[in-house]
């Protein structure tokens, strides 16, 4: 399995880390996580396609469709801090996910500090990328709002 989260780990470290997670088959239409739910796990989409949903004042709207082709991890921030999910994720077709609990993630980092540092650096890179994209979107929305007003 190739993943930006696992970059820099040896094949043995990757194998050991992935064994910390639990593979789950998710049936089409089943909710993997719900907006507002407190989570202490992250999910890696191994196979399939999911819908990312966000509640509006009147309904739940699809904001993205994700497939396993690119490197898709979601709820990493929830795993790190027992956070509330900002979106819901529903399987569009039968999916295979790897669920990684916070307890297992941190245990791996403590047991293999060298690999733990690499993982935490990779997590920081992923989160920094998300923040950068969010900042760009906010700037674009602000510019659009300025033009309209």
pLDDT in tens, 46-81: 999 999 999 988 888 998 888 877 788 889 989 998
CATH superfamily, with its number, for domain 9-148: Jelly Rolls (2.60.120.10)
For residue 83, the model assigns a pLDDT of 87
Please give the mean pLDDT across all residues of the chain.
91
Q: Which residue has the tokens 């004042």?
A: 57
CA-CA distance, 77 to 73, in Å (whole number)?
10
Distance CA 42, CA 76 (A): 5
Domain ranges of the chain: 9-148
- Is residue 24 a contact partner of residue 47, using CB atoms and an 8 Å limit? no
What length does the chain have?
Answer: 149
pTM: 0.82
pLDDT digits (tens, 9 = 90+) for 76-114: 989 998 889 999 999 999 999 999 999 999 999 999 999
Mean pLDDT of 6-18: 95
Beta bridge partners of 47: 96
DSSP symbol at 38 = B
Tell me the DSSP string of 47-65.
ESEEEEEEE-SSSEEEEEE
């Amino acid at each position: 399995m190739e993943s930006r989260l696992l970059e820099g780990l040896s094949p043995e470290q990757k194998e050991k880390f992935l064994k910390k997670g639990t593979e789950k088959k998710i049936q089409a239409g089943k909710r993997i996580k719900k907006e507002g739910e407190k989570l202490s796990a992250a999910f890696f989409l191994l196979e399939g396609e999911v819908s990312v949903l966000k509640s509006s004042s009147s309904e739940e709207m699809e904001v993205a469709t994700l497939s396993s082709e690119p490197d898709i991890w979601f709820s990493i921030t929830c795993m790190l801090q027992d956070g509330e999910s900002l979106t819901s994720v529903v399987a569009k077709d039968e999916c295979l996910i790897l669920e990684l609990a916070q307890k297992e993630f941190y245990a791996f980092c403590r047991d293999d500090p060298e690999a733990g540092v690499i993982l935490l650096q990779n997590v920081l890179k992923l989160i920094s990328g998300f923040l950068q994209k969010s900042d760009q979107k906010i700037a674009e929305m602000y510019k659009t709002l300025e033009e309209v007003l």
